[in-house]
Structure 1
């Protein structure tokens, strides 16, 4: 079954315009998913919209949107009021500026889309825009309206097409200082750093996504197959490793193939020496 476009409209660079369609570049539909089942009847569970106080089910026509301004106090927002602020340019993806890709912090990246010509017309204009972006070695920043919200999207040439990366707004990105400021400043010796670099060199390679393996998805598939065949299920959980006591020993053991790393991890901390108090003279 052919994928369905999330958005259709026009891509515009100044006076150059072409019809386009946006398709999600990623999908999780192939992953195993579960339904919630009533243990007593074997029937699927369905969710009802109920009043939080009365517990009674509420029909869709009686449900409105509300913004919480205080405890148990909401500001009602009608459909007409939302429509009154709806953006007019909902079907045009306007390119505003071009920026170096390296200047976009990864924290702002949300979701990739494939952008393709929509229909048989407009391929020439599409190619002009694509090759212009490619030749500049930059990404084009544009605006697009998805699900009634305006988003910033970064466009870059990819093979014969364009890829658009949805970006976050600054207010959506949390300040790292709130999380990193309490991390202790630790002095790392040159020997420790050299050993760690050696480990990195041993594990260095190239980015090959085909080598990625979803171990949990594989385990789920095997679990389902065993259940269908009525085979016993044996737990394969491993004990969590103990805290590493001696960092240098752990680094050296890692380089030697990890043969003694288990002993290092399981080592017990040295006992605290208790000195007898002197008698008051």
Structure 2
């Protein structure tokens, strides 16, 4: 199903107006959210809005306050805030064109797909797309939507175009403040050559579907397992990562790089079921110690772990 349009309007280039629709190019990941539950009663935890010395307050008695000094606030009501919001406009005017390389990656915030609103708009849309591609430029403008004014860039993307919401300058930290302590020494040539060789050996086409959040995968398996067990209360011990040895050993960078290059740059395969197996092992040991027998805590045979649910790829 096609997502709901984020914005509908016209891209304006001088005297040319192109009717377009803008759709989100990304979606929220498979994040799992939890509710807080009062264990003895099984009831959800609720929060009340209270004022010290007053108690619970009604929603219409609450204002927004900006702290100007410790304990001192400038109060604003909803009408005052609404009055200064930028009116949403149906026109995105491209006011400047720059090379894509001029925009630091730190400024990019969120991408959107731009599509022509109808067949009549397609010709002008294609002209703008191909002109941007030929000149290797991106168009800049400000989009007024939902009360705010967003800085955006427009660039070609396959047969279409993508709009990127950009951060304003005061929203981005200067890199120099973090990197100034890094020395200017040039690395040894042989070390650099080995590192380049290792990178080349491990280079491959980018396939994002091959990467998964293993924590989310393990959490989904855990939830499914407990759901099938009818929500039985169970305490699971934390899985500890193997500890790294501490001490004054200095890593031999040359030896490590040579070893990596010699092995073809291969790394040990990551097991997506590592968390599950480790947790099951520790739970089995705990159950064995408590019951003193080879049976599970419930006295029956062990249940097979629920198969991992296949997550939809983006």
TM-score range normalised by the length of the shorter chain? 0.7 to 0.9
Change over 3 Å in CA distance of 1:241–1:152 after alignment to 2: same
Change over 3 Å in CA distance of 1:245–1:130 after alignment to 2: same
Residue of structure 1 equivalent to 2:48: 48
User: Displacement of 1:155 after TM fit?
Assistant: 0.5
User: Displacement of 1:229 after TM fit?
Assistant: 3.8
Deviation track 1:65-104 (CA, whole Å, cap 9, x = no partner) reads 2221111111123444434433346332111111111111
Residue of structure 2 equivalent to 1:251: 257
User: Displacement of 1:113 after TM fit?
Assistant: 0.9
Residue of structure 2 equivalent to 1:265: none
Q: Which runs of 5+ in 2 are unaligned?
A: 268-314
Matched, 1:239 2:242: yes
Change over 3 Å in CA distance of 1:177–1:117 after alignment to 2: same
Per the normalisation by structure 2, the TM-score is 0.71
Residue of structure 2 equivalent to 1:226: 225
Deviation track 1:187-213 (CA, whole Å, cap 9, x = no partner) reads 632332233222222211222223223
Provide the aligned C-alpha RMSD in A. 3.0
Q: Provide the secondary structure at the position in 1 that maps to 2:220.
A: helix
Residue of structure 1 equivalent to 2:211: 212
Q: Provide the secondary structure at the position in 2 that maps to 1:227.
A: helix
Residue of structure 1 equivalent to 2:270: none
Residue of structure 1 equivalent to 2:160: 161
2:88–2:147 Cα contact (<8 Å) kept: no
Per the normalisation by structure 1, the TM-score is 0.78
Matched residues in 2 for 1:94 and 1:58: separation? 45
Residue of structure 1 equivalent to 2:18: 18
Matched residues in 2 for 1:78 and 1:43: separation? 34
Q: Which runs of 5+ in 1 are unaligned?
A: 262-281
1:240-279 alignment runs, 5 A limit: 240-242=243-245, 245-247=250-252, 248-257=254-263
User: Displacement of 1:120 after TM fit?
Assistant: 6.0
User: Displacement of 1:240 after TM fit?
Assistant: 4.1
Residue of structure 1 equivalent to 2:109: 110
Number of aligned residues: 258
1:142-153 alignment runs, 5 A limit: 142-153=141-152
Change over 3 Å in CA distance of 1:205–1:125 after alignment to 2: same
Matched residues in 2 for 1:30 and 1:21: separation? 27
Q: Provide the secondary structure at the position in 1 that maps to 2:95.
A: strand
2:97–2:138 Cα contact (<8 Å) kept: yes
2:5–2:22 Cα contact (<8 Å) kept: yes
Q: Provide the secondary structure at the position in 2 that maps to 1:122.
A: helix
